[in-house]
A = this chain, B = another copy of it.
Amino acid sequence: MYSVGSPENISSLQNPRVKQLVKLRDRRPRDEAGVFLVEGYREIRRALEKNIPLRELYFSPEWFLGENEPALLAQAAAAGAALFELSREAFAKVAYRERPDGLLAVAPQWRRALAELKLCAAPFLLVVEAIEKPGNLGTILRSADAAGCDAVIVCDPVTDIFNPNVVRASTGVLFSVPLVVEESGKVLAWLRERRMRTIATTPAAEKIYHEVDLRGPLAVVMGSEQYGLSEFWLKNCDVPVRIPMAGQADSLNVAMASIITLFEAVRQRTGGAR
């Protein structure tokens, strides 16, 4: 039926593969195995589009929501993924989402170094510090993608970029936006070597974000949810800026502040006047 050979069938909840998939929700087993989970049709399709070499693809037709799943399975198998068909109950156990759609893949983790980033003459980067909530990190990746950032650099991470909630909240952008995880000190040195201006948002700044020139080589730096920018970046960024806010003090979270700043940069970089 699936024209993908004969996938192994799994119905036992005690099957070692089932147990391992559950374990991969946690960081340590993910890092030990060097893999992470990609759940859902949309995310798996995007991983395949970006040539992520999926190792395993677990599927359970009783959970399917659409009609394109067999084609996706065939595509994954052609790209080298091993397929496993799970019973309804077995899939319920391995599914991470509240509303599973019968598709769960295992992909290899990757690490990219700053030196590997290919940058144009006037790069546009987003640097985020120690973001705590996977959902926020995923949303920030989407914003960076929509704004056309050349790369996102995650400093001193609290949240694993391969957390299943990052994958989900990023709607697959994780597979396309170049992403580097590195210490703040090394990131700053690298940005300075490349003469990139750093703009950091903090409520204490005097200048308003749209009064500052956001054209040219630029890194927008965002702090963590709870603590805001660290002393390190407050002291070392070129221009601190603030976003004027009406209403209650905490209405803008870091994901919202990121998108406001990134799209003002886009506006200026595409010819809008300050």
A residues within 8 Å of B by Cβ?
A: 46, 139, 142-143, 145-148, 171-173, 176-177, 210-211, 243-248, 250-253, 256, 259-260, 263-264, 266-267, 270, 272-274
Nearest B residue to A139 by beta-carbon distance? Answer: B256
In whole angstroms, how far apart are the Cα atoms of A210 and B245 in the complex?
19
Shortest CB distance A181–B (Å) = 20
* Complex: A87 Cα to B211 Cα, angstroms: 54
Quick one: which of B139, B248, B273 contacts A46, CB cutoff 8 A? B248
Q: Are the CB atoms of B142 and A251 closer together than 8 Å? A: yes
Contact B246 A146 (CB under 8 A): yes
- List the 4 shortest-distance A-B pairs measured between CB atoms, nearest first: A148-B246, A145-B247, A146-B251, A273-B273
Pairwise interchain contact B176-A247, C-beta atoms closer than 8 A? yes
A263 contacts across to B, CB distance below 8 A = 243, 260, 263-264
* Beta-carbon nearest neighbor of A175 in chain B: B248
A243 to B263, CA, bound (A): 9
Contacts of A256 in B (CB 8 A): 139, 142-143, 146, 259
Known: A143-B256, A260-B259. A210 touches B272 (CB 8 A): yes
Contact status B171-A251, CB under 8 Å? yes
**Which of A143, A146, A273 has its CB near the most chain B CB atoms (within 10 A)?**
A146
Partner of A244, one of B250, B259, B270: B270
- Taking a contact as CB atoms under 8 Å apart, the answer to whether B251 and A266 are in contact is no
Q: How far is the CA of A273 from the CA of B256 in the complex (A)?
A: 22
With a CB–CB cut-off of 8 A, which chain B residues contact A252? 142-143, 146
| Cα distance A80–B269 in the bound complex, in angstroms | 55
Are A145 and B248 interface neighbours, CB within 8 A? Answer: yes
Chain B residues with CB below 8 A from A211, complex form: 272
A-B contact pairs, 10 of them (CB 8 A): A142-B251, A142-B256, A143-B252, A146-B247, A148-B246, A148-B247, A173-B247, A243-B263, A273-B273, A273-B274
Given the contacts A244-B266, A259-B259, A273-B274, A143 and B176 also touching, CB distance less than 8 Å: no
Q: What are the residues of chain B within 8 A of A46 when measuring CB–CB?
A: 248
A42's nearest neighbour on chain B, judged by CB, is B250
Q: Which of A243, A260, A264, A274 has its CB near the most chain B CB atoms (within 10 A)? A: A260
B210 and A248 contacting across the interface, CB-CB below 8 Å: no
- Bound-state Cα–Cα, A264 to B265, Å: 12
